[in-house]
Amino acid sequence: MARLVRMRNQFSLFQSPLDLAHGYWKQVVKKGDIVVDATCGNGHDTLLLANLVGSAGSIIACDVQSQAVQSTTEYLSANLQKSDTPKIEFALGCHSRFPEQINLGSVRLVVYNLGYLPRGDKALITKTETTLKSLSHAMEIVMPGGVISISCYPGHEGGDKEEQAIISFAESLSKEVWSCCYHRWLNRKNSPTLILLQKGLLA
């Protein structure tokens, strides 16, 4: 914690790829939007998303572990003002398929925070194959101008291959339809990275 405070005092622009991701989310998400948290974990990202979409918005929060859904529910009820609470739906299960009722082209932002649940079972980690399947579905539900944000952990076992597979996939997308970008810390070895995919407004 003390280290984090020290970092915040030293580097005011951003300290981590998550800070970077959050800055982009704030730019793109509007009150009343529908957003998807594809890996809700302990709910830190879900809380930020809830504040961005506000009471008129909706969040679909997915996780494969019931412990994560429980943890997110508790974290939101402890930290979210009742008057700001959006419609929140939990999808317990693999994110390779999002719930049927999400209309294609209806979602402003889909976020992934890959890897394993902090303080949870490190064996329950996101996997390249299901992550790529999920991304393909995310690309269909995202609206024109919407964004897919993927925080990767190449320092974790298997996380480097997962990140590389996502980069290769993103590199293959048409530049007329998708704008794909990669952020990496140059002087912090194995630190998390951020991949952003934005769907064009005319898509």
Q: Residue 179 Cβ, how far from ligand SAH at the closest point, in Å?
A: 24
Residues 6-35 that bind ligand SAH (CB under 6 A): none
**CA neighbor of 156 nearest in space, from 134, 198, 126, 196:** 126
Nearer to ligand SAH among residue 123 and residue 201 (C-beta) = 123
Evaluate whether 138 touches 108 at the Cβ level (below 8 Å): no
**CA neighbor of 153 nearest in space, from 16, 13, 10, 51:** 16
Distance CA 179, CA 184 (A): 17
Total site size for ligand SAH, rule CB under 6 A: 21
45 sits near ligand SAH (criterion: CB under 6 A): yes
Q: Residue 144 Cβ, how far from ligand SAH at the closest point, in Å?
A: 26
Distance CA 35, CA 37 (A): 7
Q: Residue 84 Cβ, how far from ligand SAH at the closest point, in Å?
A: 18
Residues 67-126 that bind ligand SAH (CB under 6 A): 68, 94-95, 113, 115-117, 124, 126
